[in-house]
Structure 1
């Protein structure tokens, strides 16, 4: 593998998952990145499944396997994400911005488990072991005995008609 490989897991395009727009399972070889690109009015939640990743915007923010990066693009930013020496596997989750008029920000949540507070009322993330205790919601099973669950307010957004 010499470039980023992404497999879309969810991409309804019709607003049926409320704020959740898209989830891709991305694999990056060592040292590979997405290239500097822009985001605006979107929140991107990166769940690092394997390897490591450095978010490059403002100061570099390293993420290890198990960490979650929460990027709020708000009014807009240019950034990149680059895999560490062992590469990376990342679930990239795109949501409608909770506050599209806010200044951009990024935070790293170190190895959260269970419900993750994303500071928004319409979407929550749960991370944990796959099995009988997995809560209801949009359940993703990326392998390795893990489950990733999105609990979203599935009310159709205004743009979905």
Structure 2
């Protein structure tokens, strides 16, 4: 593998998953990136399953295995994510923004377990181990024992109607 490889896990196209637009399972070899690209009016939640990526925008940030990067593209930005020395496996989750478009921002939530506060009422993210405690929702089991669950409000917000 010389560049990123990805498999689309979800991309309903009909709004049936509310703000959740697409989820891809991406694998990047060591040192590979997506290439500098633009986003606008989208939130991208990156769940790093293994390895690490360096988020290249603003002050930059390393997002390691078990961490969650939350990019709010807002009014627009150009960025890249580049895999660390062990490569990376990342669930890239694209969501319609929760409200009016604001300035771009990026934060890293370090090794969350349970519900992750995304600061939005229409989408909740849960990360944990597989077992009886996995909550209902859009359940993604990608191997390795880690489960990612999206619980979304499938109604469209007033501003999007």
TM-score category by the smaller chain? over 0.9
- Structural RMSD (CA): 1.5
Matching residue of 1:68: 68
Q: For each residue in 1:14-55, what CA deviation from the matched residue of structure 2 results, as whole angstroms up to 9, or x when unmatched?
A: 100000000000000000000000000000000000001000
With structure 1 as the length reference, what TM-score do the two structures score?
Answer: 0.96
8 Å CA contact 1:69, 1:108 repeated in 2: yes
The equivalent of 1:7 in structure 2 is 7
SS in 1 for 2:87: strand
Could you tell me which runs of 5 or more consecutive residues in structure 2 were left unpaired when the two chains were aligned. none
Contact 1:15 1:160 in 2 (8 A): no
- Report the equivalent of 1:32: 32
Shift of 1:100: 4.2
1:159 Cα deviation after fit: 9.5
1:48 aligns with 2:54: no
How far is 1:155 from its partner?
A: 1.3
Residue 124 of structure 1: aligned partner = 124
Q: Which runs of 5+ in 1 are unaligned?
A: none
TM (norm. structure 2) is: 0.96
Tell me how far apart the structure 2 counterparts of residues 55 and 63 of structure 1 sit (CA, whole Å).
7
What secondary structure does 2:142 align onto? Answer: strand
The reply to whether residue 154 of structure 1 matches residue 136 of structure 2 is: no
- Secondary structure (helix, strand or coil) at the match of 1:71 reads strand
Aligned residue number for residue 140 of structure 1? 140
Q: In the alignment, does 2:106 pair up with 1:106?
A: yes
